Amino acid sequence: MPHPVITQALEQGRGFLLEPESYALCEAYGIPHAPFAVCRTAEEAVEAADRVGYPVVLKVISSQILHKSDVGGVVVDLRSGEEVRRAYPQLLETVSRHAPQASVDGILVQRMEKGSAELVVGGVVDPQFGPVVMVGGGGILVELLRDVSFRLAPLDLEEALQQLAETRAYRLLQGLRGRPPADIRAVGEMLVRVGELLVAERAIRELDLNPVVAGPEGCVAVDARMVLQTDPPEDRP
C-alpha cells in the first residue's frame, strides 16, 4: 500500500507532494530533514520561528505551485520575530502577483542549517532500469557543475559510500580549507534510505532533496520535492 500522503495527493488529482507531505514520507523511511512548522498567520510564523530557532526561511505551500522560487515563494535568512512578521505578508503578496490563480495552503517555517557541504540527493524511476539514486554537489550550482553519480536501487552502505566518493563534492565532505569534515557515513545512510523509499513507493517518479546540508553531526534535507506517477500501477516500471 502506498504511504497515506501519496494516496491523498493522487485522490486530489495532484501530480506532486506538498513539501510537508514530502517530509512525512522522509520520516517514514528515516531520512532526516530540518525542523519546520506549517503556519497560517504571521503570528503563528513568529511563534514557530522562536520554536525551531533562527535564522529561518519562509516557503509558500500551494497545491498549484511546484517550483516555489519561480513565483517568489521563498524568503531566507530571517533572524528575528520582527523580520518574520514583516516578511510573511510580503511573501503572500509576491506569490499573489506572480501566481494569481494559485491558492495558498499555508506557509512553511523552517530553520536554516549550516554544514561543511551542500549536496543534492535525488532519485528517478527509469523506464528501463527502474529506481535510480543520484547524489552530487548541491545548492544553486547543481545544474552548473553537474557533479553527480548514480546507482541502481536498492543499494547498501558500501555501495552508497563508493557512490559518494565519485563526486567532487566528496572533498568538501572530507573537510576542505578549514571546514570540518562531515559525517560521511550519515550521508551514505541517507542514500540507502532514499533507495529503499524509491523501491517501496512505486508511485514516486522523481525525488529531489536539494540541498542536503552535511556537517560533523550528520546531514539533513532542507528542501524536498517529490513528483508522482499518475499512470496506473500496472503500467509503472
Residues 37 and 51: beta-carbon distance below 8 Å: yes
pLDDT at 141 over 70: no
pLDDT in tens, 89-113: 999 999 999 999 999 999 999 999 9
CB-based contact 64:103 (threshold 8 Å): yes
Query: Residue 232: pLDDT above 70?
Result: no
Q: Is the pLDDT of residue 235 over 70?
A: no
Strands (E), 18-116: 36-39, 56-61, 74-78, 106-111
**Of the candidates 142, 144, 143, which has an alpha carbon nearest to the alpha carbon of residue 119?**
142
Q: What is the pLDDT of residue 116?
A: 86
Is residue 193 over pLDDT 90?
yes
Cα separation of 118 and 209, whole Å?
Answer: 11
Grouping H, G, I as helix, E, B as strand and the rest as coil, residue 90 is helix
Kindly state the average pLDDT of the residues 7-28.
96
DSSP state of 13: T
What does pLDDT average to over the chain? 93
Q: What is the mean pLDDT of residues 167-173?
A: 91
Q: 179: pLDDT confidence band, cut at 50, 70 and 90?
A: confident
User: Residue 176: its pLDDT value, please?
Assistant: 80
In this prediction, what percent of the chain has a pLDDT beyond 70? 95
Residue 182 near residue 115, CB atoms below 8 Å: yes
Is the pLDDT reported for residue 36 higher than 60? Answer: yes
* pLDDT band at 147; cut points 50, 70, 90: confident
Q: Write down the pLDDT at residue 188.
A: 98
C-alpha dist (Å) from residue 82 to 37, 54, 78, 88? 18, 12, 9, 10
Which candidate, 41, 66, 103, places its Cα nearest to that of 58?
41
More reliable by pLDDT, 145 or 212: 212
pLDDT of amino acid 138: 82
Instruction: Give yes or no for a contact between 164 and 188, defined as CB atoms under 8 angstroms apart.
Output: yes
Query: What percent of the chain shows pLDDT beyond 90?
Result: 84
Report CA-CA distances (Å) from 215 to 71, 116, 118, 210.
31, 5, 9, 15
Task: Assess whether pLDDT exceeds 90 at residue 142.
Answer: no
53/118 Cα distance (integer angstroms) = 20
DSSP 101-117: TPPP-EEEEEE----SE
Cα–Cα separations (whole angstroms), residue 115 to 50, 220, 222: 21, 10, 12
Task: Write the single-letter amino acid at 146.
Answer: R
Name which of 199, 131, 188, 200 is nearest 162 in CA terms: 188
Determine the average pLDDT of the residues in 168-196: 93
pLDDT beyond 80 at 63 = yes
pLDDT band, very low/low/confident/very high, at 174 (cuts 50, 70, 90): very high
